[in-house]
Structure 1
Amino acid sequence: MATNVDICNLALSQLGENGQVTALNPPDGSDYAAHCSNYYPIALRKLFEEFDWSFAQTRARLNKLASFDTSLYAYKNAYALPSDCVRVTRVAEAKELDSVCPFITEWPRNYEIQYSKTTDNKILLTDVDNAVLQYTIYKDAPAIFPTYFIEALVLCLAVYLVGPLKRSDAASSMAQNLRQAYQNALSEAKTIDAQNAARRKHPYVASQLRARWV
């Protein structure tokens, strides 16, 4: 089972470095650990932003913003995004048939993400009244990372480390080769990960009929 320290050492090996990082938070005192501590979170977030990874999907009921000027937007509602949200996958609506049988509609709803001066943060705009968000979470938990994700992360981190560690004319060509290797690994990882989920397209069913389902 890989750790973030293992991932950093694998990235260093891609650069031909023999340094062994032993700790990141806080760094163990070596230059290698200092650079890895700086760039590992950036590389990890970049990779999460690249794709809706199946192992990093989660859901949350959103908090509606009370101070929302509807005259400025073409949507009825605004919601605060979770702080660990990297990518929005879909917005659905939570409804209740009765107190015993709550359900979430799986029909995706329209939305936009914009910056709010009021909250000094990103907000989600939609016409949905009780929004449930499915999103890609940012989580530094290598224990849940599949091998294909780790391989891409190692190469992504190596790209960031080239500049600080390889101060030579060969650094630019090495960075170019690593970027290409990263893109190849990322493409393969997306293909493999996409096989972990399947969603059938159902024909439209009128709401009156859906209400009778049990």
Structure 2
Amino acid sequence: MASVVDICNGALNQLGASTILSLTEDSKNARLCNARYTQVRDSLFRSHPWNCLIKRVELAKDTETPSWGFSYQFTLPADCLRVLTILNYDYDYKIEGRKIVANHGTVKIQYVSRVTDPNQYDELLRETISSALAADIAYAVTSSNPVASNMYNLFQDKLKEARFVDATEGYNTNPDNGQADVVGVSSFINARY
């Protein structure tokens, strides 16, 4: 069973540092991991449409409406880190803060969610979070620029591998099913012929 402490210890092991038993223990490494883990994890989650983090939902219309411009507004789910797709959107919409404003009364979205249980993550994603955290805290732990640089390079390699494997799982050509894996031909592209 994976845990946040396991991910943090993976980062600390990459740095050759002492591991921790909990995020709340009184040690420099625990304080660093506790301070940086959530921000590093969420920014990594936001950077790619990870399959293990994707959710679909139909949003309920808010009772309040935008003061001008659009007719309706919808509140994004609390765990939404990034909207990937809005189904059947051939009309204008905009994401403003934690709201979607639109002129249509229904909105179905596919989004990257904030999942806090590491057991729900793909193994390569867990390894990438460890590497990202190691790169983030490397200088604070080791006081070494070369180590920090090496950790950043290792993180980039793990990120590339994890994104590749994640992106090659499944294939969707129909935009009505969510984010499509093909680029549609538009009249703009065909205009040159």
TM-score range, shorter chain: 0.7 to 0.9
Query: Could you give the per-residue CA deviations for residues 6-50 of structure 1, whole angstroms, max 9, x where no partner exists?
Result: 111110011111x121112xx122221111111111111011011
Q: Which residue of 1 aligns with 2:80?
A: 85
Superposition RMSD in Å: 2.0
Q: Which residue of 2 aligns with 1:22?
A: 21
The alignment's TM-score, normalised by the length of structure 1, stands at 0.74
Is 1:184 aligned to 2:181, yes or no? Answer: no
Is 1:173 aligned to 2:150, yes or no? Answer: no
The Cα of 1:108 is off from its aligned counterpart by: 4.9
Q: Which residue of 2 aligns with 1:52?
A: 49
Percent identity for Structure 1 against Structure 2: 26
- Matched ranges for 1:19-168 at <5 A: 19-24=18-23, 27-69=24-66, 71=68, 73=69, 75-92=70-87, 107-109=88-90, 111-115=93-97, 122-167=98-143
The alignment's TM-score, normalised by the length of structure 2, stands at 0.82
Larger Rg: 1
Contact 1:62 1:79 in 2 (8 A): yes
Contact 1:80 1:123 in 2 (8 A): yes
The Cα of 1:70 is off from its aligned counterpart by: 5.7
Contact 1:57 1:137 in 2 (8 A): yes
Q: Which residue of 2 aligns with 1:12?
A: 12
Q: Would you tell me which structure has more strand in proportion to its own residues?
A: 1
List runs of 5+ in structure 1 lacking aligned partners: 93-106, 116-121, 203-214
Counterpart AA for 1:20: T
List runs of 5+ in structure 2 lacking aligned partners: 176-193
Paired residues, what number?
175
Distance 1:69 1:143, change over 3 A: closer
Distance 1:173 1:113 in 2: 40
The Cα of 1:147 is off from its aligned counterpart by: 1.4
